């Protein structure tokens, strides 16, 4: 198992300027977080100021979405180069809320990931089944189909990440069983091995209470966190749990990794 962990906070449509204090508090709390890469994705209005608040610390700043286009007459959209210019290092693409609210297709998600990579941003490509698909046992089939359509050729060997986020676990307080997470992560690993074994994050109702258990699941390289990433008080315990899991993994005998 990969020993380093990645923990990414997705603030979604939350956060006014006062929330910058949380970015600073998260950054300040990372001093002891060894073997954990940590990022926060605030709303675009706070990107530049968040990058400023995180400057000189291990905290990276990310965006929540990106246009698939480079520039032009596209009112309201933001190009990857603009996000990078504002201080973003990563960007979430294909989040289930974008797929649901804006009708984003796998093909569009792949183009967005390609645009991100071209501008030097690391995309986090999200996949995950809905409740009805989960209930009829179609999770693996759905995730494989999404991966086939959402991961562009250009991602081969590039620094991208994947996130498995079962839609029914997002913001609901429900999480899949460790066995189910391990089986989907193993399928994602098999499908994306030719792309260079990208880290695979789990997302959906991750909290300080369950993070240790979730991040110890075989094949889980970290977490994508929504609600529990909005304050340093909620987010830092998740980072600490990741650090403990990462330290445990690196101390384990090579045969069990």
Residue whose entry in the numeric block shows the structure tokens 């201080």: 87
Minimum Å distance from CB 204 to ligand PGA?
5
Minimum Å distance from CB 251 to ligand PGA?
28
Q: Does residue 204 bind ligand PGA (CB under 6 A)? A: yes
| Residue 11 or 195 with smaller CB distance to ligand PGA | 11
Among the listed ranges 46-54, 61-69, 138-146, 203-211, the one in contact with ligand PGA (CB under 6 A) is 203-211
Task: Please enumerate in sequence order all residues whose Cβ is within 8 A of that of 218, keeping only pairs 6 or more positions apart, or say none.
Answer: 1, 182, 185, 186
Q: Which of 22, 37, 133, 165 is catalytic?
A: 165
First to last CA, the chain: 4
Residues 39 and 10 sit within 8 Å (Cβ to Cβ): no
| Residue 87 or 227 with smaller CB distance to ligand PGA | 227
Among the listed ranges 65-73, 176-184, 198-206, 237-245, the one in contact with ligand PGA (CB under 6 A) is 198-206
Q: Is 61 exposed, middle or buried (0-12, 13-18, 19+ CB in 10 A)?
A: buried
> Could you write out the DSSP letters of every residue in 98-157?
HHHHH---HHHHHHHHHHHHHTT-EEEEEE---HHHHHTT-HHHHHHHHHHHHS-GGGTT
Minimum Å distance from CB 149 to ligand PGA?
20
Q: Does residue 203 bind ligand PGA (CB under 6 A)? A: yes
Q: Which of 37, 95, 97, 134 is catalytic?
A: 95
Q: Has 74 been annotated as catalytic?
A: no
Question: For 37, phi and psi rounded to 5 degrees?
Answer: -95, 130
Among the listed ranges 47-55, 78-86, 110-118, 199-207, the one in contact with ligand PGA (CB under 6 A) is 199-207
Q: Which residues are catalytic?
A: 95, 165
């Amino acid at each position: 198992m990969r020993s380093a962990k990645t923990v990414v906070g997705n603030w979604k449509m939350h956060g006014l300027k006062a929330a910058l204090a949380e970015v600073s508090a998260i950054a300040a709390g990372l001093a002891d977080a060894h073997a954990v890469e940590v990022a926060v994705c605030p709303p675009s209005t706070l990107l530049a100021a968040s990058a400023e608040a995180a400057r000189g610390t291990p905290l990276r700043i990310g965006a929540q979405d990106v246009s698939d286009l480079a520039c032009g007459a596209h009112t309201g959209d933001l190009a990857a180069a603009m996000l990078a210019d504002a201080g973003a290092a990563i960007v979430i693409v294909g989040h289930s809320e974008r797929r649901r609210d804006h009708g984003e297709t796998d093909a569009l998600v792949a183009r967005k990931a390609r645009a991100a990579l071209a501008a030097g941003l690391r995309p986090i490509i999200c996949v995950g089944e809905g409740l009805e698909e989960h209930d009829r046992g179609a999770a693996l089939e759905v995730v494989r189909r999404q991966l086939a359509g959402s991961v562009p050729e250009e991602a081969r060997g590039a620094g991208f990440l994947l996130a498995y986020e079962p839609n029914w676990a997002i913001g609901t307080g429900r999480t899949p069983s460790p066995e189910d997470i391990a089986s989907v992560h193993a399928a994602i690993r098999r499908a994306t091995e030719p792309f260079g074994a990208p880290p695979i994050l789990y997302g959906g109702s991750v909290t300080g209470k369950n993070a240790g258990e979730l991040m110890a699941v075989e094949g889980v390289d970290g977490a994508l966190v929504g609600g529990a990433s909005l304050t340093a008080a909620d987010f830092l315990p998740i980072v600490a749990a990741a650090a403990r899991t990462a330290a445990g993994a690196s101390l384990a005998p090579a045969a069990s990794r």
